[in-house]
Amino acid sequence: MDTATKLTDIRTLSLEELTSQLILTGEKKFRAKQVYQWLWEKGARSFDDMTNLSLELREKLKERYSLLVVTEDKVQRSNDGTIKSRFRLHDGHLIESVLIPVVADDRFTVCVSSQVGCSLTCTFCATGRMKRLRNLTAAEIYDQVFLVNQQCMETYGKPLTNIVYMGMGEPLLAYKEVVGSIDRITSHTGLHMAPRRLTVSTAGIAKMIKKLADDDTKVNLAISLHAADDVKRNEIMPINESNNLEVLVDSLVYFYAKTKKRIGFEYITFQDFNDTLEDAEKLYQICKQVPSMVNIIEYNPIDNAPFRKSAEHNIDDFATYLRDRGVMVTVRRSRGKDIDAACGQLANKG
């Protein structure tokens, strides 16, 4: 273990904890607020960046604390304007984030990762083939947002408008750190983004969906559904065996009752598997049980997977079937496919 990781990670401390510790070393109370501002609002990459602190205090901070920041490792730019960033963590692990611009609508979304790898082994997802090595810390999730926000400002002259926890990993299996990052992103001492601009996506961890509602995080919830009956969902998403559709829908009804937030269903269509009108009817039966909207996503091929993208007319017929029954539907065309940045493709390639 190197020296930095033996020290207390300063970004795991609350302002109150940091204040108490600095006072014990003879510093004035206001110094803690200055340090905290550097850590979160200004995104300091090292203690030496904290230029309004005395050299003596900066040295004191270096002796007592580590600052384990995320650093840019590689950036790929798609023909459609999407930007994929690979970030290196302090222990050498790699993760990916994606900036998805919709310039015409002034909407700039970052898709962030919450784990190194993933443990859920969904058969259509490249990340699911990677072993889960660890959860990200709240600060590492925050860093992705901070750095991609800078990238967005430099490239498009606009800040991020939305954050989706839809990158590598299952956010609700990194619950404490994900909620910690939400607190910092939405705090007036952080990025001060409105919670309604944040969406947490899950493959369906029912117990943690209820906890998310109980903790009153005020973020949006999206469910990676991809099949509307247990037989098919078990086949492509092993998590369904322990969180079947009945249990999952029960948790969504609970979430809506607590939060009054409409549920988003993410539904990738696969040719000759889940894209028939019979499948659409089963999805409609789920949508009837809780106020919801459906995002139909075209499949992005990954190596050695047995799936094919649905024909356009199948996708259109599927969407029309739902719309005719009053369901809000968006057909989402994939972005960043040429750089493996689209849904299900994040795997640290290249």
**CA-atom Rg of the chain in angstroms:** 21
* Beta strand 134-135 pairing with 162-165: unpaired
Chain mean position to CA 157: 23
- Cα-based angle 197, 201, 205 (whole degrees, multiple of 5): 135
Residue 140 designated active-site = no
226 annotated to a ligand binding site: yes
Domain boundaries, the chain: 3-66, 71-339
Instruction: Please name the amino acid found at residue 230.
Output: D
Q: Which residue in the list 63, 72, 96, 177 is annotated as catalytic?
A: 96
99 belongs to an annotated ligand binding site: no
Among 3-7, 189-193, 288-292, 310-314, where is mean pLDDT lowest?
3-7
Q: Cβ distance 150 to 85 under 8 Å? A: no
- Phi, psi (degrees; rounded to nearest 5) at 35: -60, -45
Q: How far apart are CA 311 and CA 269, in angstroms?
A: 9
Amino acid at 48: D
Is 266 catalytic? The answer is no
Q: pLDDT band at residue 28, thresholds of 50, 70 and 90?
A: very high
The CATH class, in words, for 3-66 is mainly alpha
Q: Which listed residue (111, 152, 287, 343) is catalytic?
A: 343
Q: Among candidates 177, 29, 162, 15, which has minimal Cα distance to 89?
A: 177
Q: Identify the pLDDT of residue 304.
A: 67
- Cα 120 from Cα 220, distance rounded (Å): 22
Q: Report the C-alpha gap between 140 and 169 in whole angstroms.
A: 13
CATH annotation of 71-339: 3.20.20.70
Is 125 annotated as contributing to ligand binding? yes
Residue 161 confidence (pLDDT): 97
- 298 or 9, which is more confident: 9
The answer to whether 201 is annotated as binding is yes
Q: What percentage of the chain reaches a pLDDT higher than 70?
A: 92
CA pair distance 257, 117, nearest whole angstrom: 33
Q: Where are the alpha helices (DSSP H) in the chain?
A: 3-6, 15-24, 29-40, 55-64, 138-156, 175-186, 206-214, 230-236, 245-259, 277-287, 312-323
At 292 the pLDDT is: 97
111 has binding-site annotation: no
Q: Convert the pLDDT of each residue in 220-277 to its tens digit.
A: 999 999 999 999 999 999 899 999 999 999 999 999 999 999 999 999 999 999 999 9
* pTM score of the predicted model: 0.92
User: Judging by beta carbons within 10 Å of its beta carbon (0-12, 13-18, 19+), is residue 123 exposed, middle or buried?
Assistant: middle
Confidence bin at 6 (pLDDT 50/70/90) = confident
Does 169 appear as a known binding residue?
yes
What are the pLDDT digits (tens) for 192-206? 999 999 999 999 999
